[in-house]
Structure 1
Amino acid sequence: MAADAAGTVEIRGALARLRRTTGLPVAFGGLVEPGRQRMRISEFSGAAGLALRGLAVTSGNGLGGKAVALARPCAVTDYSLSRQISHEYDAAVAEEGLRSVLAIPVVVRRRVRGVLYGALRTAQPLGDRTLTAAVQAARDVEQALVVGDEARDLLTAARPGAASAGPGPDTGAGAGWEQVREAHTALRALAPRIADPALRAELLEVCGLLTSRPPERSAGQPVVLAPRELDVLACVAAGATNAAAAERLGLRPETVKGYLRSAMRRLGARTRGEAVVAARRAGLLP
């Protein structure tokens, strides 16, 4: 499943960042299985053995299951002795030598999508700094999953549009063609934020389908724009100001201006509007 693969990539990166920022010797986690009230531990950073690998944690059971059920962070100072949790997974935790453990749920649209764990091999309180870093790592995963969900929704909506919305004039003909242009702009803005390379490549492939009408014939060489120049121009084509384009693309307004100037120069355009028209004639924008 593409969504599962993307989520796994994000969790793996978050675990590595969590260990770097906190110094925790062990971090691990996984995704909640779609349609089921359990998560499976699949990703590790610093784990010494295989006791936890593939372990299915049911909602309400153990520390991670408690985090899934309550949709909030949970922590224990000594896992095997804690009275705050049930103890279905004590053998696996003990084999890994873990004592002090925290579990942070990854919550997207009020649904727990995964859990991040951090652990010590000594029984001592995990401080506020560690908890804050773990919560931030989970928030990073949540944001990435939201972006991935948006991207997949756009892919679903864009593919039929790419097949049915034929070439239109530069001004665009009908609401259908405008929807294609909006989808193209949104996909290009999302693509750089996608960590999963397969999903990112899929997004850009669909962008290519949305601009698949042939360019108008020209005596000169075909115009080639850098990816970021095209991202900025797509936002401009959708009516965005430089500031709005910067916010959408995660760039500084001055950087957006630079990309726009460069795109205009390559297209031989004197204004933003001319640049958009030239890009459409060149088959670079829908």
Structure 2
Amino acid sequence: MEIRKSKFNYVYIIWALLTVFIAVIIIKNVLSISTAAAWGINIVLFICVFVLNYGLVGDWRNRIRHGLKKPATLNEVNGLNAVNDEVFEQVSKFYPKLKKAELFVIAEDNINAYALGLNTIGITKGALSSLNIGQVKAVIAHEYGHLANRDTLNLILFNTSFTILSIALLPIYILSFLVGLVFAFMEGMLSGDSKVSTGLLSVFTRILRWSYLKYNEIGYYFVNLGSRDFEYRADEVSAKAGYGKELLSFFYVLEQLDNDVRKGFLALLASTHPYTSYRIKNIENFIGITSSTDKIDYHNNSKLVN
């Protein structure tokens, strides 16, 4: 079976471009410069912010920011190295250009794992102690799926565009503060009180901040459409690499932990991940499980780290 292409890649691209375009308009008008100069400033800023979040510098920074640690004990080192070698070999059969990721441990008790930047995968201590070896391999293969499909790149491009917008808004905050200060001084000289000026400045900055946050929030609603589809696609990478039944086993563990609570349409829109039951159904269809006679070992207690 061929792994589907995400239907929502373009959402990240369009929203990022729209956000950068808004930043260009703001910088052009606030600084009273040409459109070409405004684009130049934005491009330079975009490259600087992007480098800080993606690639060698970005991965190093993200590892520190998220508290990722290299495997420490012999159990972790030997076990994770073996898993990483095997999973990378399996996934790279379908993605020859995929680079081997560095595997890190996250000091958290919950069951979780995530891919970061260019070649970083983190998995929690809770996952290592709770999941069996097959389930850990399936989870790592899923994260390799995100790296292979450049899902982390899409998210960083989106976040970078919002960072550029927030930088573009700084001159407005500074100018409004200076203008407010001047009017407050004049008002104070005339009446001895500057409540009107300071009040208007406060209202203006609150409206500006509210508008920025709402624009950001709406953007994430749209982008999460893509994010949820990326999760389905990464699941399919794990299954295609040979870990489909192990992944289903992991999903049943996950479903028991969170009871797959469905909180309504708006909660789903705000979620980066689909409901676990939907992911189970997707993988069952993907690997061709059609009845309860297709046995899956949900109770294998062979752990990677004891």
TM-score with structure 1 setting the length: 0.29
- Larger fraction in strand: 1
Higher relative contact order (CA 8 A, sep 6+): 2
